[in-house]
Chain A
């Protein structure tokens, strides 16, 4: 068994956090230890989403923690939001995804671009977990190049018709409402709120994932779905809409990945101290120490990047390119820590008795979704050279 998790703070970064941050972290850590850790291996194994956790996530305030309280958020700063994501992902990337999607990809665009009536109708219900949302941007033929999307919305009398399909959508099969991005007749991207039960709208599940197995994924299929004008988000036109949501979620992932890495590192450290070979703890061998020392070095760097990104976000100075750098660095870091940690456990490293293999498999999604590892590199490349390598 993996025993009690101990967090690691090699550079005393906690000193840079406020009382609220520390309280929030302790609360979410307790919640994860009680509600997620005991069940997650089983749900992952059965590839089932622990949907009962939506209520609990809502109760602790994990949905949109940095949105204003009046709209179902928690009124925290961006570091508070990041810390919550970190603790959730210490439990499981799939559980963190439940919160990222609901808060940053569904509540955030409604809060930022919705009409007052849309905000009143959806935000409190999403914040309290009584409604589940999903975010539809990726399409079967357009992943890394979402601007080339084909899903379209055309005028039909006093309403509109939505046509097309979305792929790889987290929470799609269980969502009550979908935030869907589609092109209007003038080729401008608009955001649309589509409710479950609307004629022509279906959400088939995508089965057979070896990664993020405790998170449910599906398609959104629109066969001439009738959309009333008041279902369109009035506040945004163009790719800025979906990209601003992705910025918010990617920021959370830059923090979240550290949680998965810490869980793997902590498990490997404790195992290596207890496991004896050649009559001594394997932690005493130089090769094991190299692995552990490099892990904590990389974790510490990632913690500092996340913290600094948080202070920039709080000051309103964070750029999307900085988020790309942080997401790319921290997720690869977590994946590498998970791989090394898995090796330290030898044969035990592949077992469900320890969380490492699950984190390792999950992180293969995390390094792909919200912009692949390479796409984020190209964003940094574009930012520093001024030349886009995409096209």
Chain B
């Protein structure tokens, strides 16, 4: 079977987040990037498990600049066979979806995976847009999947429970926690990744449909105040008068 996993990059969770002075752009200075964990731990690893069971190939696709090639190498080290990078710093999720659709069209992938969302902008939009652009069914928030003879049974997490969906391939799913378990690439995989193809393709033109006007960050957290455990009255007073929670 042919599988495609869409991988995006995001600031390391330990990175300090700031925005440009006019609050319209994220400040990338000195920020370390990692692969979006939903793409890596769940989507990619499930694709690798599927390949181990059913054979075939895994392609990963990333829309970004050469700065992120380490992330692509990591995906190849975990078990993808080849990579396509669309050479563009994407302007938004729609841009990403159009670029990936352009790569995926005519390639007859059986399953296309995205993460359920990226952990930086949390838009959870690329999978759905891609499905629309490629005219394929879309299953979001998948936390379990079985597959045999071209038919999949996918479990989705919904409020308070699960929903089980049956459908034939091809389709697109967005992966949430539980779909697979994180795999740490090993040294052999890292060395083999160097010999796997990473094809760079130029982007297609995309008109911007929406524009980010401003980012704002929550007010900085105030220092924590310690209260003597013997002094319950002070605690109650502060909760009532200052925090106003009782």
Query: A residues engaging B (CB < 8 A)?
Result: 4, 6, 19-20, 22-24, 26-27, 30-31, 34, 59-62, 65, 69, 74-76, 80, 84
- Evaluate whether A19 and B70 lie within 8 angstroms (CB atoms) in the complex, with A4-B14, A6-B14 already known: yes
Q: Which of B160-176 contact A (CB under 8 A)?
A: none
- Evaluate whether A76 and B191 lie within 8 angstroms (CB atoms) in the complex, with A6-B14, A31-B184, A61-B186 already known: yes
Establish whether residues B186 and A27, one from each chain, have CB atoms under 8 Å apart when the complex forms. Answer: yes
Establish whether residues B190 and A23, one from each chain, have CB atoms under 8 Å apart when the complex forms. Answer: yes
A61 to B186, CA, bound (A): 6
**Is B188 interfacial (CB-CB < 8 Å)?**
yes
Kindly list chain B residues whose C-beta atoms are within 8 Å of the C-beta of A4: 14
Among candidates A19, A22, A27, A69, residue contacting B184 with C-beta atoms closer than 8 Å:
A27
Query: B residues engaging A (CB < 8 A)?
Result: 14, 69-70, 73-74, 77, 184-188, 190-191, 193-194
Looking at B77, B187, B188, B191, which has the most chain A CB atoms within 10 Å of its CB?
Answer: B187
Main secondary structure of the interface of A (DSSP, over half): helix
A84 to B187, CA, bound (A): 9
Looking at B185, B188, B190, B194, which has the most chain A CB atoms within 10 Å of its CB?
Answer: B190
- Evaluate whether A74 and B184 lie within 8 angstroms (CB atoms) in the complex, with A4-B14, A19-B69, A23-B70 already known: no
Kindly list chain B residues whose C-beta atoms are within 8 Å of the C-beta of A26: 74
Establish whether residues A75 and B14, one from each chain, have CB atoms under 8 Å apart when the complex forms. Answer: no
Main secondary structure of the interface of B (DSSP, over half): helix
A59 to B188, CA, bound (A): 9
Closest to A81 in B: B187
- Least CB distance, B156 to chain A, in whole angstroms: 28
Establish whether residues B186 and A22, one from each chain, have CB atoms under 8 Å apart when the complex forms. Answer: no
User: 19 extra interchain contacts, Cβ-Cβ under 8 A, other than A20-B194, A60-B187?
Assistant: A6-B14, A19-B69, A20-B73, A20-B191, A23-B77, A23-B190, A24-B190, A26-B74, A27-B187, A27-B190, A31-B184, A59-B186, A60-B184, A65-B187, A74-B187, A74-B191, A75-B191, A76-B190, A80-B187
Kindly list chain A residues whose C-beta atoms are within 8 Å of the C-beta of B188: 61, 69, 74-75
Establish whether residues B184 and A23, one from each chain, have CB atoms under 8 Å apart when the complex forms. Answer: no
Among candidates B69, B73, B187, B193, residue contacting A61 with C-beta atoms closer than 8 Å:
B187
Kindly list chain A residues whose C-beta atoms are within 8 Å of the C-beta of B186: 27, 59-61, 74
Establish whether residues B14 and A23, one from each chain, have CB atoms under 8 Å apart when the complex forms. Answer: no
